[in-house]
Amino acid sequence: LVEQPVEQFYDVDEEYYCEEGFTTARSFGLRGESTGGVTTVLAPKYTEQIQKELELAKAIVDTHRTPEDIEDEQWDTSMVAEYGDEIFGYMRELETRMAPNPRYMEQQQEIQWSMRAVLMDWIIQVHQRFNLLPETLFLTVNYIDRFLSCKIVSLGKLQLVGATAIFVAAKYEEVQCPTISEIIYMVDGGYSADELLKAERFMLSMLQFELGWPGPMSFLRRISKADDYDLETRTLAKYFLEITIMDERFVGCTPSFLAAGAHCMARLMLRKGEWSPAHTFFSNYTYSQLRQLLSAMLECCEDPRKHHAAVFEKYTDKRYKRASTFVAGEMQRGFSLPEA
């Protein structure tokens, strides 16, 4: 399936810092016009001022919490009020520990970021064909990127990596997952059942059987509490989350950071108001921390059919409130972000 393991892949290169203080990394084989010679690895800044803003947001939310709110939270399964802070604290540890190396493409000998984008386009179509959960999609992407972070893969085996990842992710997340024969059909018979099963065992060993990566959907649900779980906002946020799959700049982003950025962008584009203390509290990110991420997301929407064709087509459907066509219309009307 693959060649020799890559040792100490987190020490491939030193980190760089742009003027805004965001970590950057060298990146080769970039996807056309998407980025320059240095890819920004988007990550939130943490300063004393930001810490004060986070503490203030918590104080404001606690002050305005009524007995009715507390009672409602007891029945809110997505909040798990009694243990919510501990659960999400643990998830933040996991999202960092189980993150891929954002510079893994420097080690790969036959594949480039543009080829990853083609694979992700196919993954999104397969995911939609089987009508799988959103969690399965993001888990698949995490497995692929983590696997490619530690193994050098030939171009001829790249689709096998993707097929194996979605097969494993579906087993982890779904009640009813695709069969081996269905996966083989989706790769047009390019691999046998035996190859797929061998690849599955190998991928599991490379991932050290650590499959419980906390994807962005759990964090998005928590943030949605600040909007009373507004469906319109959440649907649009899912679109913004899925377009990040296609772009190498978001490979190193934690799911909590992406969920906060997607939700914030959805609110801004729907004109639902600014990033309030409640949003800051439930996301654990301030608007100033999200600003650079939002700019990158907005760039992805400038030419959607070129940047994320499969995602754009998927979200033209009425089930998703035609989110992609709405965003395209807003971009044509000159949508811009407010200053931090």
Pick the CATH number of 48-84+215-332 from 1.10.472.10, 3.40.50.40, 3.40.47.10, 3.40.50.300: 1.10.472.10
Sketch the domain layout of the chain as residue ranges.
1-41+99-212, 48-84+215-332
290 Cβ contact partners less than 8 Å away, ≥ 6 residues apart:
44, 257, 260, 261, 264, 275
- Given this model, what pLDDT does residue 114 score? 92
Tokens 């947001």 appear where?
57
- Given this model, what pLDDT does residue 36 score? 36
- Given this model, what pLDDT does residue 75 score? 63
> What is the value of pTM for the model shown?
0.84
Same CATH fold assignment for domains 1-41+99-212 and 48-84+215-332: yes
Q: Are 186 and 163 in contact (CB under 8 A)?
A: yes
Measure the CA angle with vertex 334, ends 248 and 276; round to 5°: 75
b/e burial code for range 61-83 (CB count within 10 A of at least 16 → b) = beeeeeeeeeeebeeeeebeeee
Tens of pLDDT, residue by residue, the chain (340 residues) = 444 344 332 333 333 333 333 333 323 333 443 333 445 678 888 889 999 999 999 999 888 777 776 666 666 665 666 777 788 888 888 898 999 999 999 888 999 999 999 999 999 999 999 999 999 999 999 999 999 999 999 998 999 999 999 999 999 999 999 999 999 999 988 889 999 999 999 999 999 998 989 999 999 999 998 998 899 999 999 999 999 999 999 999 999 999 999 999 999 999 999 899 999 999 999 999 999 999 999 999 999 999 999 999 999 999 999 999 999 999 999 898 887 6
CATH number of 1-41+99-212: 1.10.472.10
